[in-house]
Amino acid sequence: MGKSMQKSLSLRTITAASLLSFLYFGFGFAQPQTSANPKAVDLGALLGKTADYCRKLESSILDFVCLEEIRETIDPTADIMQASNFWGATDRGWRLGDWTGASRPPKKIKNSYLYDYQCVHSGQAIRETRTLLKENGKKTNVPNAALKTSVVVYGTALMGPVGLLGERFQPHYDFSVIGRDKIENRRVVVVDAKPKPEAPETTNLYGKAWIDPATADILKIEWSESRVGRRQIFEKRGERYKRKPRLTLLSEFRTEKNGIRFPTSLVIEEAYVNEKGKAFVRSTTEVAYKDFRFFTVEVLSRIVE
């Protein structure tokens, strides 16, 4: 596929000031195991502990750097078919219309980026800066670089737990324990959060959280994108495809420093679902955070350098 086609597919579509307003599934996300008695967990006490953690997270002062590795995959099949006035798949394979000479869907577009990433959090402000180190395998050095992802422009995952489990947000949700799971040999419970009917549509999203009931550590969060801002861009694309858009995000928090958990992965999927519930995944964006270096971690009144 030529550069002009790739460029036309490179519409930046999502903004999320932080993950307080956005998420999820479809491509191999492990589903929680059901428990014979998930309600044995004291949900009220657990939510109280997670609210305390979110309060500590919001009031902390953090300064850290890490490597941010991004892999982006775009499937242009639907866009090409839509341009040819054809869309869909049959029992015998893809229906390609006047796309002559093609016996299978086109090759997926793959991009990769490696950044030196710095995040500073103080008060209500979060500042992110990036230096681009590699683009599609080629070394470079671009200070103060913009995020170059083609499909989604995401915000920091650091504050993600607050929008779902923070004290001021909890009253907008109905919580339930829906299962149990294991993360790094730790037994966790899966807490589901569904917005109450009267909840503000602009700030409340569906979600799940994987929480260690013994420590209240939030190890993983999955958000639904059903109410994300600027969703109209995906809605219009879904209208062209004659499918319903489904945007989902999953984030894991496996690095810990002085009681604060830092994001280690972020996965975003852009999918479109037909009437039978079958999803076409147009794009996935996978982000890995590694090699953390902490300059300052201030938790309440205690500073560690």
Predicted confidence (pLDDT) per residue in 198-250, tens digit:
877 655 567 899 999 999 999 999 987 654 445 777 888 899 899 998 888 89
- Of 40 and 182, the structure prediction assigns the larger pLDDT to 182
Return the half-sphere exposure (C-beta side, CA atoms, 13 A cut-off) of residue 130: 18
Of residues 159, 125, 152, the one with CA closest to residue 20: 159
| 56: helix, strand or coil | helix
* Other C-beta atoms lying within 10 Å of the C-beta of residue 70: 18
d(CA 31, CA 290): 25
Q: Are 149 and 9 in contact (CB under 8 A)?
A: no
Give CA–CA dist 235/238, Å, rounded: 5
Residues 118-135: tens digit of each pLDDT:
999 987 789 999 999 999
The CA distance from 288 to 263, in Å, is: 9
Strands (DSSP E) contained in the chain are: 61-74, 89-90, 93-94, 109-122, 125-135, 138-142, 173-183, 186-195, 207-211, 218-224, 244-252, 255-257, 260-262, 265-273, 279-299, 302-304
* pLDDT in the model for residue 28: 39
Could you tell me the residue range of the domain that residue 166 belongs to? 3-304
What one-character DSSP code corresponds to residue 100? T
Q: Is the model more confident about 147 or about 227?
A: 147
This prediction's pTM:
0.78
- CB of 254 within 8 A of CB of 219? yes
Question: Coil, strand or helix: which one is 225?
Answer: coil
The C-alpha atoms of residue 82 and residue 73 are separated, in whole angstroms, by: 19
In the block, residue with structure tokens 């307080």: 20
Q: How far is Cα 262 from Cα 283, in angstroms, rounded to an integer?
A: 25
DSSP 170: G
For residue 24, pLDDT over 80 is answered with no
CB atoms within 10 A of CB 101: 5
Burial 180-196 (b: 16+ CB within 10 A, else e): bbebeeeebbbbbbbbe
Number of domains present in the structure of the chain: 1
Task: Place 75 in a pLDDT band, splitting at 50, 70 and 90.
Answer: very high
Q: Which token pair is 124?
A: 């209500």
The pLDDT confidence band at residue 95, using thresholds 50, 70 and 90, is very low
Bigger pLDDT: 173 or 233? 173
Task: Report, in this order, helix, strand and coil percent for the chain, each rounded to 5.
Answer: 20, 45, 40
Residue 300: per-residue pLDDT: 63
C-alpha closest to that of 106 among 87, 71, 78, 72: 78
